[in-house]
Amino acid sequence: MSTIVLVTGATKVQLIASHHTGIGRGFVEQYLKRENTIVVAGVRSPSSAEATSLCQFDVAPGSRAILVKIDARSETDALEAIQVLQKQHGIGRLDIIIANAGIFYPAANQKVLDMKLTDLQEHINVNAYGVIRLFQATWPLLEQSEKPIFLLNSAAAGSIVGMKAFAQVPLNSYAASKMLANFFITKVHFEHPSLISFAVHPGSVVTENRTAAAERLGVSVEGISVDQSVLSLLSVLDNATVATTSGTFLNVDGVPIPW
């Protein structure tokens, strides 16, 4: 039986060592290397070159990629994507949802005294409301799985307990949106006992965007590659259980992060 994985933000690309890649794209590539795996890539523009290139990865026997339109801002995209999967591709269940779509606008992250509420709302709309839209749309198929998993690609900055570590870095709009998303990921853990629902910090992944943001914030840039992040998170996903994983916030290496 095939494993069916849906990954959003699959074309959210960064420039790393002259190659366009990103965490969502990395998940698509790695899952397609596994036999009997259907990877549904949620992208904002399925006809774009970045999106169609997802179908050019090496594919293991019995595996394939499907592109669907999912913009995290849209009230209808995720619901319509599920209808496409059911009617056009005959898919009646989803096993793993990776909520990877998100935004981080460095210029929008100011101190509380200076921040614009419109910037805060934009981050919340994508990073938190987008997760709710995705869960509501996918749950009817997710609950058909024998081992349903909903993974949120969050951020360490979304930890209230860990706020002191980021106290001098003005990540207010971004961090607040991740905190809100974390709340709902934890809430669905309690509302759906069969679901493995958890949040992860993907690590400090070195990308062109992150480098530019770090320079603007006056902090050093150190971290891991996209491949390192994705492979570590795949290990976490492979070993996830309701008893040990659901309702938790984990670092890329599987170590718990306080909420």
User: Is-contact 155 201, C-beta < 8 A?
Assistant: yes
Helix (H), strand (E) counts: the chain: 8, 9
Mean pLDDT of 147-174: 89
What are the beta bridge partners of residue 97?
A: 6, 150
User: Is-contact 223 213, C-beta < 8 A?
Assistant: no
Catalytically active residues are: 174, 178
Mean pLDDT of 138-166: 93
Segment 118-132, tens digit of pLDDT: 999 999 999 999 999
212 vs 170, more confident: 170
As a whole number, the mean pLDDT across the chain is 89
Residue 152: pLDDT over 60? yes
- Reported as a pLDDT band with limits 50, 70 and 90, residue 14 is very low
Task: From residue 240, give the alpha-carbon distance in Å to each of 1, 2, 233, 249, 250.
Answer: 19, 18, 10, 12, 11
Task: Give the pLDDT score at 15.
Answer: 33
* Nearest alpha carbon to residue 54 among 96, 12, 94, 85: 12
d(CA 154, CA 167): 18
* Nearest alpha carbon to residue 26 among 239, 258, 252: 252
Give me 6's structure tokens.
Answer: 């849906």
Mean pLDDT of 81-107: 94
Domains within the chain, CATH numbers bracketed: 3-251 (3.40.50.720)
Q: Is 200 helix (H, G, I), strand (E, B) or coil?
A: strand
- Reported as a pLDDT band with limits 50, 70 and 90, residue 10 is confident
CB within 8 Å of 177: residues ≥ 6 apart? 120, 123, 124, 126, 127, 128, 158
Task: Give the pLDDT score at 209.
Answer: 59
Segment 41-89, tens digit of pLDDT: 999 999 999 889 999 999 999 999 999 999 999 999 999 999 999 999 9
Task: Give the pLDDT score at 18.
Answer: 30
